[in-house]
Structure 1
């Protein structure tokens, strides 16, 4: 496939990921201080337990809003941090949210039960039946407990992604219920016009981010670009490449190394979205994905017909040349993880070394294209074959193949066990972490 990639940006001392993370931390810290200030301005209850409970509730609301921003798939954040890391942060802040809200419920229950003789459980039941907004809060907390339970790793491994995602959607119901609870009984919310305006603005930004990133942008992009399958090319018995065309693809902003959530609008698969990386650098006319048949969704790609309409969400991912720190690079791919690596090789300037790890040469997807690209780019290509043990990419072997590895950016993509092993090797060889770039493609975190 002949491409005309845009000139890659030169390495820069400014790390986009650091800028984005610092910005997120700063925004969170400022809002935490603002919440504390409004809380203090509203005055304190006579019962210390109620004071602590109310403060925990406010910080629970702040964390909930922050969670929404993390999974809103805003392009600026996604290209600098990556969907995998944003999703992971969302998961861990979710558990922090559960503990914060649990503390809110416990302190409020014991605080209001103090001196009444009804006990904390009885007090919650009484408040739910007599005070507006409390019952909604109890339901919201129950929903979040269920979502948290299915998000635990032991439960997540037993659930299909579609099932997990369906259950997770109920967290938006919990968000709405929690907000209405805050409006109904939040003393800080109504303590002053400034506090009311702040909380409305906070929730507006959080919910607006989700609406824009998850709904408005995908709908607008698909309406504008009108994606369709133009060709389906088998690469081997198990691997197929799908070419997608559309209008004004040069204005899509896709970069080599990124991925889309592809939804092919056939009668039996229109509802299923799968993440596949671009396997060639975008040229403004065509997008190409290459996938191995490991499930029903990827196996069905072979039977797509040219002209099939496509609903594509993206581009997503921070596995791009935007994050380069050095002029030269090392690209390490395992199995079908070669697809974004092959695209990156087109986009990178400077000297590149490519290491492709497979069990046998027959498993090397797109090997012919890699060889042609390596010749055209003046890159070194090493095909490393053999069983996982002994490790063919152990420190000694990798240092032999790439003696100047510590002076290169390293882009890594492959199966999780291989990636974990290579990351340990890179650490042992003293490769600075800012020069190591990888993404883990797990939508459920």
Structure 2
């Protein structure tokens, strides 16, 4: 059973509220970079060179190469953990955009290779394979670019869903780091032989700035900031508590935790120095609101990363990256709250219920599990409900197999949105927070839309990879 968190929390440094214009600025900057790249191509006789077949292929190859390079840098920036970007979009949406940008970039890169090779072969009146060999072996930086392309192709192949299902998260994450190597190896070729990179001072300044921004963001936010926070707070395992079958909570203590800029609902990437494999990071949400003294994470045995938590010993050093995630009170629009949790998805919502201000009767929790024994934090939640006037609806048993529903099968005769309106008549006035498996979350989101909840009041974050 859980060890209770302090009822009276000390003041701690909260994450800054999300500003709506942060998202707009980030998105506008990305689109402007793409338009600027096209403008550079036009200014470099991109349109004039389309007149002949060889010129068309070469010019189109230049454009696809420029766009591929720009999207590759945007891809790096999307996952550089830039705090204001991450809090504006959330890691799940950034991951989706990163994936789309990455596949588009590698497709344009393949088109660049094919078009340039065909264009040069047609100009030189040589065979295609011979021209490719000549390009790779004689042009400055091309051997490095070829190695970089191979690294990027490997990352793209292992990111296809069918391949990802065969890999552990830790293995996939390690392979994914080769994208940085690919981007770095491509740089010499672009700066030494890419005419569009050196054709004008404006082009040179743009590309050096773009590469510098991408490299700087990675160095500062993915490396420098975590190193500084870990040195400052020095987290260690304080206690490991078994919560239920295959579920454990880890309590962590450290220095100056009241100064850690974290909010209830966020997660960290954790590494515990407890033996072989400790360098592989794993994301776990806080399962209790920060109290300035300790942090708590809770995980279910879903693989090697989460399984090793049960074997941790007090005093084990914990290294972390974060906090990340936008499933917090900063996105809240009103006072009333409706929380929907399934399985281990209760962890961030339990923290939010304890942290977010509301009056008695203004918060409701739907807690989904297959059986009563699988209801995590039941005693804690019922204590919270009694103290703060929270209504709890337990959703136990199998779900219907005949339709995509978030409700148990015994609700099947009635449409989901009608059940929701019956249980919470003013659901449209609530901020809806959802956390659970993807299919279940989709069912809840669809139900909330049909029940009339405005889109800006629905908040969810996926943790699948």
Q: Fold-level match, TM-score > 0.5? A: yes
Q: Structure 1 residue 75 and structure 2 residue 83: aligned? A: yes
Aligned to 1:366: 377
C-alpha deviations, 1:208-232, integer Å up to 9, x for none?
1112121111111100100011112
Q: Structure 1 residue 423 and structure 2 residue 423: aligned? A: no
Instruction: Report deviation, 1:272.
Output: 2.9
How far apart in 2 are the matches of 1:120 and 1:23?
A: 44
| CA contact 2:334–2:429 (8 Å) conserved in 1 | yes
Q: Structure 1 residue 409 and structure 2 residue 431: aligned? A: yes
How far apart in 2 are the matches of 1:8 and 1:425?
A: 36
Aligned to 1:25: 27
| CA contact 1:8–1:347 (8 Å) conserved in 2 | no
How far apart in 1 are the matches of 2:247 and 2:123?
A: 70
| CA contact 1:8–1:349 (8 Å) conserved in 2 | no
Q: SS at 1:349's partner residue?
A: coil
Instruction: Report deviation, 1:269.
Output: 4.6
Q: Structure 1 residue 42 and structure 2 residue 64: aligned? A: no
Instruction: Report deviation, 1:329.
Output: 1.1
Q: Bigger shift: 321-330 or 99-108? A: 99-108
Distance 1:296 1:146, change over 3 A: closer
Aligned to 1:2: 6
Instruction: Report deviation, 1:8.
Output: 12
Instruction: Report deviation, 1:125.
Output: 1.4
Aligned to 2:224: 216
How far apart in 2 are the matches of 1:8 and 1:297?
A: 29
Q: Bigger shift: 262-271 or 209-218? A: 262-271
Aligned to 2:387: 376
Q: SS at 1:196's partner residue?
A: helix
Q: Structure 1 residue 205 and structure 2 residue 205: aligned? A: no
How far apart in 2 are the matches of 1:226 and 1:246?
A: 5
Q: Structure 1 residue 293 and structure 2 residue 315: aligned? A: no
How far apart in 1 are the matches of 2:36 and 2:261?
A: 36
Aligned to 1:110: 118
How far apart in 2 are the matches of 1:400 and 1:224?
A: 50
| CA contact 2:339–2:364 (8 Å) conserved in 1 | yes
Aligned to 2:412: none
Q: Any gaps of 5 or more consecutive residues in structure 1? A: none
Instruction: Report deviation, 1:308.
Output: 1.1
How far apart in 2 are the matches of 1:441 and 1:166?
A: 18
| CA contact 2:327–2:459 (8 Å) conserved in 1 | yes
TM-score normalised over the length of structure 2? 0.89
Distance 1:135 1:299, change over 3 A: closer
Q: Pairwise CA RMSD of aligned residues?
A: 2.1
How far apart in 2 are the matches of 1:238 and 1:156?
A: 24
Q: Structure 1 residue 240 and structure 2 residue 242: aligned? A: no
Distance 1:98 1:227, change over 3 A: same
Instruction: Report deviation, 1:431.
Output: 1.9
| CA contact 2:90–2:461 (8 Å) conserved in 1 | yes
| CA contact 2:366–2:392 (8 Å) conserved in 1 | yes
Q: SS at 2:298's partner residue?
A: strand
Distance 1:5 1:88, change over 3 A: farther
How far apart in 1 are the matches of 2:345 and 2:459?
A: 14
C-alpha deviations, 1:375-428, integer Å up to 9, x for none?
222221111212112742622222221111111110001122221221221222
Q: SS at 2:39's partner residue?
A: helix
Instruction: Report deviation, 1:435.
Output: 1.1
| CA contact 2:299–2:306 (8 Å) conserved in 1 | yes
C-alpha deviations, 1:350-397, integer Å up to 9, x for none?
311111111121111101111111222222111121211274262222
Q: Structure 1 residue 441 and structure 2 residue 449: aligned? A: no
How far apart in 2 are the matches of 1:348 and 1:200?
A: 45
Instruction: Report deviation, 1:119.
Output: 3.1
C-alpha deviations, 1:206-260, integer Å up to 9, x for none?
1111121211111111001000111122222422211111111111111000011
How far apart in 1 are the matches of 2:206 and 2:365?
A: 51
Instruction: Report deviation, 1:297.
Output: 2.8
How far apart in 2 are the matches of 1:237 and 1:112?
A: 64
Aligned to 1:159: 167
Report matched runs for 1:121-200 at 5 Å: 121-200=129-208
How far apart in 2 are the matches of 1:313 and 1:262?
A: 7
How far apart in 2 are the matches of 1:90 and 1:6?
A: 36
How far apart in 1 are the matches of 2:128 and 2:10?
A: 64
Higher RCO structure, 1 or 2 (CA under 8 Å, sep 6+): 1
C-alpha deviations, 1:61-85, integer Å up to 9, x for none?
1111100100101222222211111
| CA contact 1:280–1:289 (8 Å) conserved in 2 | yes
How far apart in 2 are the matches of 1:228 and 1:156?
A: 32
TM-score normalised over the length of structure 1? 0.93
Q: SS at 1:282's partner residue?
A: coil
Report matched runs for 1:240-259 at 5 Å: 240-259=248-267
Aligned to 2:364: 353
| CA contact 2:245–2:374 (8 Å) conserved in 1 | no
| CA contact 2:121–2:131 (8 Å) conserved in 1 | yes
How far apart in 1 are the matches of 2:142 and 2:232?
A: 45
How far apart in 1 are the matches of 2:123 and 2:444?
A: 61
Distance 1:416 1:37, change over 3 A: closer
How far apart in 1 are the matches of 2:211 and 2:83?
A: 20
